Structure 1
Amino acid sequence: MYKNLAAGLAAACFFLSPTFSAQAAAPSPSSAPVKAAFVYVSPIADAGWTHQHEAGRKEMAAALGDKVQSTFVENVAEGADSERVIRDLAKSGNQIIFTPSFGYMEPTLRVAKDYPNVKFESITGYKRADNVATANARYYEGRYLSGVLAARMSKTGAAGFVAGFPIPEVMQGINAFTLGMRSVNPKAVVKVIWLDVWFDPPKEREAAMALFNEGVDVVAFQTASTAIMGAAQERGKYAIGFHSNMNHVGPDAQLVSITHQWGQYYADRVKAVGAGTWKSQDRWGGVREGMIRMDGYNAKIPAAVREEVKAREKDIATGKLQPFRAGKQAIRDNTGAEQIPAGKALTDEQILQMDWLAEGVQAPKRN
């Protein structure tokens, strides 16, 4: 169905001129700071995917002080443009380069092959090499928790989900959100709109409005702007923020935001370069590791509901609750086929290859 899309997808194309900026520490003559560079797929803005990675870079810089000298380039389109930028950063003496976008994976690998002494961190990528590590966050854990909250706060039992592309990471999010909702309301439905783009504020807003017109009163999304949160605020509906806290955009609309935290990871990897201990690895961290956090709870949420969500968050952190583990009944997809047998849980490998949509998801068919 969707199994082969992830490998061939050039996710978000931003036809903007790259913008270079730098934050250079002022090291003493005796110090040798690690030179670290970051490549961003969109403008930094005041919220969203790139904003959150820039927050992680700043947190890293504050933690390491004069032990790091960091730079970034924003607005870099995936494809040939990104390869040129990554190659320029490698040429200019950076010792470690972070490339946080799925579509940067192949360009990163090509540059890494030509610069074996430079370390690369492919964020959301899945292909590694001796000098290329991969990392991502278990967004689906936050999605499950937000589904519980959405079900408690929804009056219609119908939620919406605006998604960029049907890659496994997005399928995980839609399914976990739906499973979280149906753990509270077994009849809950989630209506999906595919945009085939990650960043298009007018298109994102239009999709949200269409869902609200269909009776949806809570909307989640996996796109790069704050347009959907703004639409929910305008219509008097609820929305689940993603990437970063979007309370400033929808102070009444935001139920909570699922945020991913990168500062500690970035600091650890830069320190490893400085210590000569960096090794290629794959890191997939979630609630337990502090890489996924629920921020900006709406004040309208009853205390009992908030405590329920926090209790389930604790269960995820301890391993007691796994979003993709079936209870006494099997978990089925929206065609009725069994996907997770009763009492069984998906392995990480199976989660990473997810190509189905859960029972309760209403989505247009795709070729």
Structure 2
Amino acid sequence: MKKQLILEDGTVFIGKGFGSETSTIGEVVFNTGMTGYQEILSDPSYCGQIVTLTYPLIGNYGINRDDFESISPAVRGLIVKENADFPSNWRSEMPLNDYLGMKNIPGIAGIDTRKLTKIIRKYGTLKGAICGLDVNAEEMAASLKRETLQKDQVREVSTRTAYPSPGRGHRVVLVDFGLKHGILRELNDRNCDVIVVPYNTAADEILSLSPDGIMLSNGPGDPKDVPEAIEMIKGVLGKVPLFGICLGHQLFALACGADTEKMKFGHRGSNHPVKDLRTGKVALTSQNHGYTVTEDSVTGTELEVTHLALNDGTVEGLAHKNAAAFTVQYHPEASPGPEDANGLFNQFIELVKAEKKGGCQLCQSVKM
């Protein structure tokens, strides 16, 4: 089954289709991770995107029941150099091809992913389509140029209703902008009593749940497309300890008066070095984002930059000078990737303990 990948600049790649036989349109991005394709496919932050995996052989260890980051993947398509038809791993329950077909996700294999990645690095992310050979490439490219990228990704992937993940420890309200299950697992491992709430939950409703801490999850798209979340953060800041990851980090920055901007091709992979400016230590991190906090915009706010990406100098962490709140752009829960930054969850718990010990009057009044 031959298929073609058409980019908005008119570039065409011909390859072998696998997974679903449907056609798809999305923003074409690349991920440099050597492993973790199952977690990448099920990461809600890829909503609306067609993901290119730069590692040449994908699918060799199949799909298993344990490594999903969400139940329903939101990725639009998958591009690989070679898809393994016969996986070999003791945990494997089905081939990648079968999983993509079951979830109605089209894939294309056998194309020059190195060339495609170099195009994206040179010109930035491009809109693209995976479709049959019967589609006119020139007409599709022209149509892609007129296509408007999706702006409601967070609404698509966030939970519709609040739900608990009970524990006997500190109560954490986890705001779901498209959360990876890895974040929930880390909180559960620390015995937190977690309540997951939708992205558009108001500040007063969150405070009425008597949280000891609030966590802002990762998620897809432009943070400026989620204004209700920015207002919510303004409403809870300084009242309860707060920890944000990825999109949560960007929304926190906007709520505090800083700005964000779209990156040329983003950070997507599992070996991005990040420097902690307070300790001088460098951690290898898992990342997946196409927007960043503009460093110059932090000046004049109550924020300080705590972490920087060593590859390009972009902002990777923030802390509030006068409130118990900090955020990072990368993924300390990994899944996939190194666990160098996993200790940030412990820092959050320690911050919660310190605030409770300090007897925050507002926190106490909320719990009465």
* TM-score, normalization by structure 2: 0.29
Q: Point out the structure with the larger strand share.
A: 2
Q: Point out the structure with the larger helix share.
A: 1
The structure showing larger relative contact order (alpha-carbon pairs under 8 Å, at least 6 residues apart) is 1
